[in-house]
Structure 1
Amino acid sequence: MPQTWLIVGPPGCGKTNWIRETLLKHQGSCAYLRLDGCSHEGLEAGINAGIDRNWLSDQIPRLQDLSNASVSPLPSSEDCLALIEAQQFRFPSIADSDRIDPRIQQQLDRLNLKPDKTLHFGRDSELPKQDTLDFTQLEAWHLNLRDSVWDPSSLSSFWFELVNGAYGDVYRAKALMNLPDGRSFFCNWMVSQEGSQFLPLETVEPPTGRPTRCSHLVVQGKALDQVGIQNTISDCLLADEVLEMQQAQLRQQQPDLQLN
């Protein structure tokens, strides 16, 4: 029969990567949902900006989006696996091991979703533990970059500065970023890891203007220089005339591009 699992854990512990690997191995139909995270005193959850859902949907085209589960319910096939992700800083005590945070439970109830089991990063042995950090203080900031296109070299410089402390103590950063040639990259960094991930999406749009797909930056850390981050980003994004000049060159180099 269909299975529904709730996967929770703190920022950057590897929830989305584990979900991706699990769904890629699954032979049947599959579905995914990311819920809004739960903040605690001094610990601010990152916004649910659609980064994870769009990344997973690109990697697993057959993946069903459960964000409208109350209208479009789970597939009824016996082999369906639905994984629900939520950011949660602390897991319940042993006495409350089966209890779901009320704020997460309310979201599940609105969508008529009832997990068969809940897995906590940092508690359950079947999940990896190496990147599960115990945060004592964390603030979050995000920026919607829809329609924005980056100068590639400026993106590399900005990301290096961001994760190396130029704008405060960044512990977690993830984003979907658009380049002028129609590619988009999933950028992913966690303080417990040695380096960043820059993973290209499979879907490439034709270089004919500004893309309309999801592009967003989410940052978590301490003493974040939000104004400094935003000002630097503004200097890194391509203006209309520069974007058209670069894309026109690409179209001339590749006349067989699909432009429709």
Structure 2
Amino acid sequence: MDRYPIYLVTGPCGSGKTTWIHQQLTTSTEPSAYICLGADATPIDLTYITATCPHVKPISAGASWTQLAEIQPLYVEIALQLDLATLKLPVDIESCQRIAIVPKGLIESEYHDWATQTLISEVTEKNVALTALPRFGLTGEVLDPASLNIFWDELIQGAYGEVARAKGVFEIVDGRSFYFSFGVGFPDCTYFELPLLPVLSGRPTRFSGLEVVGNNLQPQLIMETLEDCGLDDNALAYYQEQIKSQLSTESPEEALV
């Protein structure tokens, strides 16, 4: 049996690595696998990829993926903080397709030297010093949508420090899960609902969280603001009952709108 390729995808912060991988995965429905090395306990990209590409097998950080790599196409996204020079994998790196996604204007870099193929993204090169990469686990937290929108606008406009890249998965009170993404040099800020079943009983157990990359960030203030956006148990139970009551009185046609 022929062995499918393993794609190692690297590049600077916010260059479009996840976007490129997502584009490849959506052009085919054949079984594939994906892992983000360095995501650890904040699998934002893994959540986004597997929610929008149901044919993709998710591999959690720290899992053994040698066997999967031998039987199906595997996309390995390499996080910013990992050192390419010392990167070690359970497969031979030289046998993999090494792809660098780089922003417009970046001519030479360690990514160019490491990769076997270099692709230029639509993102323009940014000039933000990257001195911090705080991550925030939010699993079980349910946020008020209006408060979340205000927080996100404040975050990307610099209220908590200079942000080069921010991405997150958030649960809101009506049971839906949303993916947010921002990057300096990106054409647009992105946010959309993930195609997941709504959670309207208790707190969701699926992953949610936030990752921010930038300079002079204030992680404690970010976390405190996110906590202020959240609903306590009593408020959550009240709103969930209101939503379920409303859904039960709608006709099937109305419920589908």
Q: TM > 0.5 between the two? A: yes
Partner of 1:31: 33
Partner of 2:85: 101
Partner of 2:206: 213
Partner of 1:116: 96
Matches within 5 A, 1:224-235: 224-235=217-228
The answer as to whether partners of 2:129 and 2:214 remain within 8 angstroms in 1 is no
Partner of 1:167: 160
CA displacement, residues 168-221 of structure 1 (integer Å, 9 cap, x when unaligned): 111111100001111101110001125421121101223111101111111111
Q: Is the alpha carbon distance of 1:256 and 1:61 closer, same or farther for their aligned partners in structure 2, counting shifts above 3 Å? A: farther
Structure with greater contact order relative to length (CA < 8 Å, sep ≥ 6): 1
Partner of 1:95: none
Partner of 2:11: 9
Partner of 1:254: 247
Q: Partners in 1 of 2:22 and 2:129 — Cα distance?
A: 28
2:64 to 69, 83, 95: 69
User: Which structure has the highest helix share of the two?
Assistant: 2
| Pairwise CA distance, 1:27 | 4.3
Q: Are residue 150 (structure 1) and residue 130 (structure 2) matched?
A: no
The amino acid across from 2:10 in the alignment is: V
Q: Are residue 86 (structure 1) and residue 78 (structure 2) matched?
A: yes
| Pairwise CA distance, 1:144 | 0.7
Give the alignment's Cα RMSD to 1 decimal.
Answer: 2.5
- Partner SS for 2:99: strand
The answer as to whether partners of 1:121 and 1:129 remain within 8 angstroms in 2 is no
The amino acid across from 2:171 in the alignment is: N
Q: Partners in 2 of 1:255 and 1:113 — Cα distance?
A: 56
Q: Percent identity?
A: 28
Structure 2: runs of 5+ lacking an equivalent = 103-111, 251-257
209-218 vs 198-207, which moves further: 198-207
Matches within 5 A, 1:199-210: 199-210=192-203
Partner of 1:55: 48
How many pairs does the alignment contain?
232
Q: Partners in 2 of 1:134 and 1:113 — Cα distance?
A: 34
When normalised by structure 1's length, the TM-score is 0.80
The amino acid across from 1:126 in the alignment is: L
When normalised by structure 2's length, the TM-score is 0.81
The answer as to whether partners of 2:167 and 2:212 remain within 8 angstroms in 1 is yes
- Partner SS for 1:207: coil
Q: Is the alpha carbon distance of 1:245 and 1:27 closer, same or farther for their aligned partners in structure 2, counting shifts above 3 Å? A: closer
Q: Partners in 2 of 1:90 and 1:212 — Cα distance?
A: 29
Partner of 2:22: 20
Structure 1: runs of 5+ lacking an equivalent = 38-46, 92-99
CA displacement, residues 61-98 of structure 1 (integer Å, 9 cap, x when unaligned): 1111234334753362xxx321100124799xxxxxxx
